[in-house]
Amino acid sequence: MAGYIVRRLLQAIPVLLGTTFLIYFMVFAMPGDPIVALFGEKTPPPQVLEQVRERYNLDQPFIVQYLLFLGGIFRGDFGISFSGQPVSNILAATFPVTLRLALLAIFIEMVAGITIGLISGLRKGGIFDASALVVSLILISLPVFVVAFVAQFIFGIQLGWFRTTVGTGAPMQDLILPAIVLATISFAQITRLTRASVIETDTQDFVRTAASKGLSRRRIVPVHILRNSLIPVVTYLAVDFGVLMVGATVTEGIFNVPGVGRTLYQAIIRGEGPTVVSFVTVMVLIYLVINLLVDLLYAVLDPRIRYAK
């Protein structure tokens, strides 16, 4: 196991270098001067432009710029935004909010999706199964902004159960409704994925053997069926968590959540290159760590999986 972890960490190095290089290239090596664009219609003196370029190392060759950026990342220095604020401070303010939102959404979709998918798979062809498939298909078909506006109107305005926008500091109670909105589409996917995996696992020989040995259905379902059915679900949840961490832009915008997605979108609109590059780099690191943890979790869920030396 230790050797496998070391190999995965070594494999992550070229992935990190390649993705950060592409990100930096797409942001800073494209035609146009981001510093000139920063001043809008104004024309600053050449001396001011030169000072700003020097401050952000934009007066250096591209490869030197990238190496300086990469060195700063390894030192924990994410640079300074064009507004003069350290990017690490922006990350510190927005990352915990999105992390809480993503964890809450993952919890909701995991509990609801796995539970309904398990019952649906065990009762294949029944009324519950048919209803779950219809509901999941409807949720998958709906755009997230439609679900968000409907949820705001019904649960926020009509019923008054939740606030329609997130307040200062993003308290947990204000994140429940946007988390439910984020969880709806993924919940539908997890339900269908769990159902298909449960149906397939229920026909395996080891399940029949367990039943022939006299084990009760109450013992077989959680230990033999559910446990072995969770591998594809865990894979989806891991990918979905990374997506939620960076892809909740629409939901964060509708509910005014001061998180990573909304901040990243605003940085792109304003042409804040250092902020965009640093935020996306952090997302790449999150993906790499999550994928490693998921691979290790496979061996826990299915003891048949062994990592070759």
HEC string for 186-244 = HHHHHHHHHHHHHHHHHCCHHHHHHHHCCCCHHHHHHHHHHHHHHHHHHHHHHHHHHHH
Alpha carbons 238 and 190: distance in angstroms, whole number = 12
Name the average pLDDT for the chain.
79
| 253 and 106 co-located in one domain | yes
| 250 and 278 co-located in one domain | no
| 38 and 148 co-located in one domain | no
How far CA 174 is from CA of 14, 157, 162, 243, in Å, comes to 40, 14, 7, 21
Encode 10-28: b = buried (16+ Cβ within 10 Å), e = exposed.
eebeeebeebbeebbeebb
For residue 264, being part of any structural domain is answered with no
Containing structural domain, residue 72 = 1-77+271-308
pLDDT at position 37, please?
59
- Say which amino acid occupies 138: I
Both structure tokens of 277 = 């590059």
| 204 and 286 co-located in one domain | no
pLDDT at position 48, please?
72
pLDDT at position 30, please?
64
The answer, yes or no, to whether residue 171 has pLDDT greater than 80, is: no
Residue of 149, 236, 146 whose CA lies nearest to 190: 236
CB 186 within 8 A of CB 114: no
For residue 250, being part of any structural domain is answered with yes
pLDDT at position 202, please?
80
For residue 245, being part of any structural domain is answered with yes
Token pair 């999986």: residue: 305
Both structure tokens of 90 = 């922006």
| 232 and 103 co-located in one domain | yes
Three-state SS for 289? helix
Q: What number of other Cβ atoms are within 10 A of residue 57's Cβ?
A: 18
How do residues 215-266 score in pLDDT, each as one tens digit?
A: 777 788 877 788 778 878 887 887 787 777 765 777 888 887 888 878 887 7
| 216 and 142 co-located in one domain | yes
CB 101 within 8 A of CB 178: yes
For residue 82, being part of any structural domain is answered with no
Largest CA distance in the chain: 85
Say which CATH number the domain at 198 has. 1.10.3720.10
Alpha carbons 204 and 215: distance in angstroms, whole number = 15
How far from the centroid of its chain's Cα atoms is residue 123's Cα?
32
pLDDT at position 262, please?
80
Banded pLDDT at 305 (limits 50, 70, 90):
low
| 103 and 148 co-located in one domain | yes
Banded pLDDT at 135 (limits 50, 70, 90):
confident
| 161 and 278 co-located in one domain | no
State how many domains the chain has: 2
For residue 238, being part of any structural domain is answered with yes
Please name the residue ranges forming H helices in the chain: 2-28, 34-38, 46-55, 62-74, 87-122, 127-141, 144-151, 172-202, 205-212, 217-220, 227-247, 249-254, 260-270, 273-301
Residue of 96, 265, 104 whose CA lies nearest to 177: 104
CB 185 within 8 A of CB 139: yes
| 136 and 69 co-located in one domain | no
Q: Which residue has the higher pLDDT, 142 or 84?
A: 142
Alpha carbons 207 and 301: distance in angstroms, whole number = 16
- Which of 258, 282, 300 terminates a domain? The answer is 258
How do residues 6-37 score in pLDDT, each as one tens digit?
A: 777 787 788 888 888 888 887 776 666 666 65
pLDDT at position 31, please?
62
How do residues 190-210 score in pLDDT, each as one tens digit?
A: 888 888 888 888 878 777 888
For residue 265, being part of any structural domain is answered with no
**Which pTM value belongs to this model?**
0.74
For residue 263, being part of any structural domain is answered with no
Banded pLDDT at 298 (limits 50, 70, 90):
low
| 190 and 93 co-located in one domain | yes
| 249 and 104 co-located in one domain | yes
**Averaged pLDDT, 264-279:** 79
| 2 and 138 co-located in one domain | no
For residue 12, being part of any structural domain is answered with yes
